[in-house]
Amino acid sequence: MESYIIIASNSEIRNVINVEKSRISKPYNQTGKASIDLDVNDPDSTQIEELVNIHRHELLFTKDEIEFTIVKSSLSPGKYFDRIFRPVLEIQHILFLLPYIEDKPHITPPFDHKVYFDSINQVSFITDALLKLSRVIQFDLKNLPVYGNEIRNLIILCCTELEAQWKGILTSNSYSPNVQTYTTKDYVKLNPILKLDQYKIRFRNFPDLGVISPFDKWKPSAPTKSLEWYNSYNHIKHDREKHLPSASIENLINSIGGLVIILVAQYGYNILYEEGVKRFYIIEREPIWYDNEKYLPPSSLDNYDWEKDNCSI
């Protein structure tokens, strides 16, 4: 069964509808009419008007003219992808709230708390090492080329953790690499799914560094070289003597910024992030998520339970 979202042009209200065999069934069984025929690929004004009239008394207390559009959702209500954050279509913006109970705790998809705690702890450990390093080196723009063995060690720690996160997301969604091991050819497939290149981040303790976007140039045509700081990590890991100058403050900052972004792109924000990570990092820009990309809350028909689905990667 496919799901569609009706959007009122002059309000923030959204309404989720389920469609089967080109027929719109009752949204969560709460409408006054069983169903209407609708060509969702090319709905005409009469069909939309009929649909609107069914719900008009519950829709908006207004006499103003309202225009409606219909978009196809990428997921059914209650379906989610493990370790792939997307906003949930806000319950307060969905019509026919009767199936929802306000005190239900699972308004966001579940996740493995142990895996998340371990990830938070790793970010905290790396942050502590970064702050310790900043007592020796001034973190400002003119010192971005500064390099050294301690910086190299921290870059390696950060990027190996980043690789673990990438692998975790892929395996959680039943993705297998074409070769024996994962490579950047696999990792880069997460960029459009998580919208990593849209994130921008800055470091609270180092305002002179400004805002960075670690993934903004990541391309599948050159999955390693286009991610310059990650490419530098590979160089300093395998040939320290030749590539030590690549163990720079600039590459370290991008590595840590990328790791924090990956954390947010998997789990969003919660109290652990607010207390353990947000004190040091600020996400300046987040991805734009359209209604058809957002998770749809589970309904009473699903006993309010979320159901894991595999993302097509």
Phi/psi at 60 (nearest 5 deg)? -145, 135
- Domain containing 50 equals 2-108+295-309
What's the domain count of the chain?
2
pLDDT, residue 161, reads 98
Whether residue 128 is found in the same domain as residue 253: yes
Predicted confidence at residue 80, as pLDDT, reads: 95
Residue 175 placed within a domain: yes
Q: What is the DSSP string of 178-236?
A: SSSS--HHHHTTHHHHHTGGG-EEEETT-GGG--B-TTTT--TTSTTTTSHHHHHHHHH
In angstroms, how far is CA 231 from the centroid of its own chain? 24
Q: What pLDDT is stored for residue 34 in this prediction?
A: 36
- The pLDDT assigned to 125 comes to 96
The pLDDT value recorded for residue 28 is 32
> DSSP state, 295?
B
CA-to-CA separations, 237 to 148, 228, 256, 257, 280, in angstroms, rounded: 13, 14, 16, 19, 27
Distance of CA 258 to the CA centre of its chain: 13
247 in the same domain as 301: no
**Domain co-membership, 134 together with 149:** yes
Asked whether the beta carbons of 171 and 81 are under 8 A apart, the reply is no
Same domain, yes or no: 250 and 305: no
Query: Are 164 and 266 part of one and the same domain?
Result: yes
Q: How far apart are CA 313 and CA 177, in angstroms?
A: 11
Q: Are 167 and 27 contained in the same domain?
A: no
Is residue 149 located within the same domain as residue 79? Answer: no
Predicted confidence at residue 75, as pLDDT, reads 82
* Residue 290 counted as domain residue: no
The answer to whether residue 162 is domain-embedded is yes
Q: Is 39 inside any structural domain?
A: yes
Say if residue 271 is exposed, middle or buried (CB neighbours under 10 Å; 0-12, 13-18, 19+).
Answer: exposed
72 and 188 in a single domain? The answer is: no
Q: Are residues 18 and 62 in the same domain?
A: yes
- pLDDT for the residue 301: 57
In this structure, the answer to whether residues 203 and 267 fall within a common structural domain is: yes
Instruction: Answer whether 31's CB lies under 8 Å from 23's CB.
Output: no
Q: Is 251 helix (H, G, I), strand (E, B) or coil?
A: helix
Residues of the chain with pLDDT under 50: 9-13, 19-40, 57-63, 93, 95-105
Q: Which two tokens stand for residue 92?
A: 């307060």
Query: Are both 224 and 174 inside the same structural domain?
Result: yes
Determine the pLDDT at residue 236.
Answer: 98
* Cβ-based neighbours of 276, under 8 Å, separated by 6 or more: 120, 123, 124
Phi, psi angles (nearest 5°) of residue 65: -70, 135
Name the phi and psi angles at 148, rounded to 5. 175, 175
Looking at the fold, whether 122 and 185 belong to one and the same domain comes out as: yes
CA angle 246, 247, 253 (to 5 degrees): 110
pTM of the model: 0.82
